Chain A
Amino acid sequence: MQSNPVTTPETPAVLGSLPVLRAIGLGGQRGERPLFERLDLALEPGSVTWLRGRNGRGKTTLLRLLAGLASPTAGEIRLGGEAGGRTAREAGPAWRRMLVFIGHHNALKDDLDAGEALDFLCRLSGARPAPERIQAALARLGVQHKRRAPVRTLSQGQRRRVALARLALALDQPLWLLDEPFDALDADGIATLNALLAEHAARGGATLLTSHQALSLAHPVPRELDLDRHIAATQGRPVPGTDDGRA
């Protein structure tokens, strides 16, 4: 069995070194427009993967595919690394139980206060965090004083922090899919998120995130998945089942 270089010895990888999630020959589209095809990817325990690509390349689409919010046009998503591992569709609830998806929207209701909004998001995944844990999570992101404030009154950065506070509570979910998590965060917020990502990796979790700024995460060193390069490479090669591209 191959060992994972990122996992340090004193923090054993909970899930072994098999990938948390694997995509094989994945194809995605938005509306009728194909975005990428034949994409292979493995999210390994203890890794942070930086999904790069220009606007409109399909970064968000890929994250949504991996979260099960959309269906791929081709290929499959498998949980665990074995060839016989269950496809994510078969796993259904087990798949959704193992992931946290934080999209471009913060999913906070304007009329709830920050604590209630966070509590609701945690309840959706079946957790019932104690009020102290909610308080601690908000404190971790530096927004504990906003706990009783309606989300409506929070700034963009503060809303992002409340949404990201879920990560401080998501200790049981090995897969984090984050769409532009650094958006609207200040330097202090970025440092906190980096710390959360590092802790998650140390627990043996895997993260796939998009960001337009270069990542400042030092440990683990983020792997790169460049959709621009992937699309350029796959479009140069012949597509199976067609005649063009042979020259």
Chain B
Amino acid sequence: MTDLFVAVLMRDLRLAMRRRIDTLLPLVFFLVALSLFPLGVGPEAQTLRQIAPGIVWVCALLASMLSVNQLFAGDQADGSLEQMLLAPQSAVALAAAKCCAHWLLTGLPLIVATPLVGILFGLSTPALLALVAGLALGTPILSLLGALGAALTLGLRSGGMLLILIVLPLTTPALIFGAGAVSQVEAGLSASGHFSLLGALLILTAVGGPPATAAALRISTE
């Protein structure tokens, strides 16, 4: 099982290194979308600070969804997906490797870029830490759910839009608790309850997501 996981993960990372521009696009989208808000809402510091956590979460969510679209499509088009499903090891390892690769290439760069965004919106250090911690727990959830949506909509003509419509409702708890944690900290309260719930969500999706994704892949390729 680990053989398949490592082989697929390493291949995806290697492919990403060869297509650096494509790999950077979600991060660029995240930063550009975020920088539009001060322009649209106005430069008032108090308002920006208040809406920042929600905006960062929504942009992270959209950046994840836009990039997860291609997670299996390319492999299906060139026959790689069939070969991966023919591996003797369980397809759950394949699904897990794909989620892991997506998070490393999309979620992790977003987390790293978030302190920069914090400066842009004038967040206090504790609020920024809460935002980063929330994203660290939340972006893997987005990758896991996104992969499930991508597998379900694989091969459909309007798959991209459908994927977003399927996955967005599922991600709302992560969004609420992630953005809520920052508000708690800003109000001087403890955010541990929010983080616990985010952690529970992460465990739930990590356990349930890859098997469901594997099953959806088998159905999509039949």
Contact = CB atoms under 8 A, between A and B. Distances in A.
Contacts of B80: 107-109
A111 B15 contact: yes
A138 to B, nearest CB: 18
A27 B88 CA distance: 25
B221 A69 contact: yes
A96 interface: yes
Chain A interface residue number, banded: 20 to 34
B88 A96 contact: yes
B86 A124 contact: yes
Nearest to B3: A126
Interface string B199-222: 000000000000000000000011
Nearest to B18: A111
Contact of A111 (B19, B77, B85): B19
B89 interface: yes
Contact of A125 (B78, B79, B87): B87
A124 B7 contact: yes
A126 B89 contact: yes
Interface in A106-122: 106-112, 116, 120-121
A21 to B, nearest CB: 14
Contacts of B88: 93-94, 96-97, 125-126
Given A109-B15, A112-B14, A112-B15, A70 B222 contact: yes
A57 B40 CA distance: 59
A116 B14 contact: yes
Contacts of A106: 78-79
Interface in B78-98: 78-80, 82-90
A81 interface: no
A12 B4 CA distance: 33
Interface string A119-154: 011011110000000000000000000000000000
A70 B121 CA distance: 52
A124 B83 contact: yes
Interface in B130-179: none
A67 interface: yes
A121 B82 CA distance: 11
B7 A123 contact: yes
A110 B78 CA distance: 9
B82 A123 contact: no
Given A69-B82, A93-B89, A112-B14, 6 more contacts: A67-B86, A68-B86, A96-B88, A97-B88, A111-B18, A125-B86
25 contacts: A68-B86, A69-B221, A93-B89, A96-B86, A97-B88, A101-B82, A103-B79, A105-B79, A106-B79, A107-B79, A107-B80, A107-B82, A108-B78, A109-B15, A112-B14, A116-B14, A120-B7, A123-B3, A123-B7, A124-B83, A124-B84, A124-B86, A126-B3, A126-B87, A126-B88
Interface of A: 67-71, 93-94, 96-97, 99, 101, 103-112, 116, 120-121, 123-126
